[in-house]
A and B are shown apart, each in its own frame.
Chain A
Amino acid sequence: DGGITQSPKYLFRKEGQNVTLSCEQNLNHDAMYWYRQDPGQGLRLIYYSQIVNDFQKGDIAEGYSVSREKKESFPLTVTSAQKNPTAFYLCASSILEGNEQFFGPGTRLTVL
């Protein structure tokens, strides 16, 4: 089955720790995205990548970092510099500009 997987589903972190969220897709999509969703709000773009070894900042990139070493993988690191990291994180991918973005099931990150 083709799709997007995110792991883990739930993640707990202590303040001051970095943590990495995994996102893998087997849809052969070129573009991948990371979004953050807070309660009662829509999704906000953190980072996106259109090709391997290239990525761009979204609207709320501060305190986050990404890498795109493989077409299938786009991990997101939430660093200690992110002041309010507790949120729901969604990864997405798409073929081309203007096309549907397919979403993964999400990771719920809680900072203790």
Chain B
Amino acid sequence: AQTVTQSQPEMSVQEAETVTLSCTYDTSESDYYLFWYKQPPSRQMILVIRQEAYKQQNATENRFSVNFQKAAKSFSLKISDSQLGDAAMYFCAYMAGNKLVFGAGTILRVKS
């Protein structure tokens, strides 16, 4: 069974600084997708970034980028120039077929 592990229950970052959230996953599939979702206090799930496993190039969306290491089954999220609005729960998720498997989440706190 596929599993997703986020080893950092909570992280803190100073405003304007950079933070990296860790994620590892376990799968025997070769073709899959990986996602980072953000859940602010409103509890609305918002897609942050998406990575296809067949692509070697790391995905980037403005201040958000990933470090995808397929052999190591690692998928970390880097947030640059952190802003107060980045404070939220962040979930790493794995998809093969139509099913999303989520990690337990990392709470990100941003200090002003």
Residues on A lying within 8 angstroms of B by beta carbon are 31, 33, 40-45, 48, 50, 58, 88, 90, 92, 94, 97-98, 100-101, 103, 105-106
Interface size on B, residues (CB 8 A): 23
Q: Tell me if B44 and A103 are in contact (CB < 8 A).
A: yes
- Tell me the interface secondary structure of chain B in the complex: strand
Sample of 7 more A-B contacts, CB < 8 Å, known A45-B101, A97-B98: A31-B98, A40-B104, A42-B4, A50-B98, A98-B33, A98-B95, A100-B35
Q: Which of B29-70 contact A (CB under 8 A)?
A: 33, 35, 42-47, 50, 52
The interface residues of chain B lying within 8 Å CB-to-CB of A100 are: 35, 47, 50
Q: Tell me if B43 and A43 are in contact (CB < 8 A).
A: no
Least distance between B64 CB and chain A CB atoms (Å): 14
Q: Is B102 an interface residue (CB 8 A)?
A: yes
The interface residues of chain B lying within 8 Å CB-to-CB of A58 are: 99
Q: Tell me if A42 and B43 are in contact (CB < 8 A).
A: no
Q: Tell me if B98 and A94 are in contact (CB < 8 A).
A: yes
Least distance between B96 CB and chain A CB atoms (Å): 9
Contact with B103, one of A42, A48, A97, A98 (Cβ below 8 angstroms): A42
